[in-house]
Amino acid sequence: MNRAATIIMPAEMPLMDARKSHAWSPIADLPSDWQTLIDPTLVELAHKWMAESQSIRDHALLREFVARLCRQYAIETGAIEEIYHISRNATKVLIDQGINAALLTHGDTEEPADLVVARIEDQHRAISGVYQFVASQRRLTKSFLLELHQVLTDNQRTFMGRDSLGQWVERDLPRGQWKPWPNNVGGPGGFSYEFCPPVQVDSEIEQLLAWYEAHAAANVSPIVEAAWLHHRFVQIHPFTDGNGRTARCLASMVLIKAGWFPLVVTRDDKPSYYLALQAADDGDLRPLIKLFTLLQSIAMRQALRVAAEIQGNPADL
């Protein structure tokens, strides 16, 4: 088996034909005009949510709202990458009642129910770990990234990719460690996308973390930072598989740290999500920030409805 062969990950294939080829280059810092990328409506919503949340943070209804949001996050983040397949009806059941294999019925999944639930639980432990990470005020480090990847892939032992001859092969997944061989993407019409070479991963991650610290010190908007950190991490693609899941955890970390909510990207959002990532590949973060703004606005409006219910003042939002 040729370890240096180009690897194509199934989740990255749907939009290949529409993408430009990209040679690898080091990640770039935020654009100097990042302040212009912020939607004032989100700022207003965030201020309202932060004001409303002060008195209800420990209320059972809010805790249940966040718990359901985390279960939705856990199910959808793996479904996007197709590490399991689960019906929409089963998704709703697990969000409502809890992540439990006994709740799945025949036809809800294409894989064994126990395996699907085990992999969903991996994603749930990861987002729970992000909350704990924020609460403990730990610094974002390389060791945390490796820990996070280990959790996300705990029940994923292998991945599928194409070798240098274009054949699908199943390989062991290195979990909790940087990629040992290139994971560039190729496709029809000569399309190619080069991610960071393995030998450069460590230095690129160090640069990513240094800029992240600088952005925090400069009070960069959470929504801008979430989009930037997510995209630049995916550009590096430091792991053999699981990069998208890790990136969504990192974006969620930024938002949770601000007192906001996890970034729930659903299967319905997948086309616009990939198109926004493609625009960011070409140097334009605006579509990704716009999508993240939409998703976070939805969560905030839902949270404000919960706050209104708690306070007995139904709001017209």
**pLDDT tens string 145-171:** 999 999 999 999 999 887 777 788 899
Residues 6 or more apart whose CB falls under 8 angstroms from that of 267 comprise 76, 79, 80
**Domains of the chain by start residue, with CATH:** 10-23+36-310 (1.10.3290.10)
**Residue 194: exposure state from Cβ atoms within 10 A (0-12, 13-18, ≥19):** middle
Give the separation between CA 106 and CA 112, rounded to whole angstroms.
Answer: 10
Give the separation between CA 9 and CA 80, rounded to whole angstroms.
Answer: 12
| pLDDT of amino acid 1 | 32
pLDDT of residue 237 exceeding 50:
yes
| pLDDT of amino acid 312 | 87
The stretch 39-59 carries a mean pLDDT of 96
Residues 6 or more apart whose CB falls under 8 angstroms from that of 226 comprise 250, 251, 252, 254, 255, 263, 292
Q: How confident is the model at residue 301 (pLDDT cuts 50, 70, 90)?
A: very high
The stretch 57-81 carries a mean pLDDT of 97
The stretch 161-183 carries a mean pLDDT of 88
pTM above 0.75, yes or no: yes
Query: Which segment of 37-41, 133-137, 235-239, 312-316 scores lowest on mean pLDDT?
Result: 312-316
The stretch 104-127 carries a mean pLDDT of 97
End-to-end CA, the chain: 58
pLDDT of residue 80 exceeding 80:
yes
Give the separation between CA 260 and CA 49, rounded to whole angstroms.
Answer: 8
Do 84 and 116 contact (CB within 8 A), yes or no?
A: yes
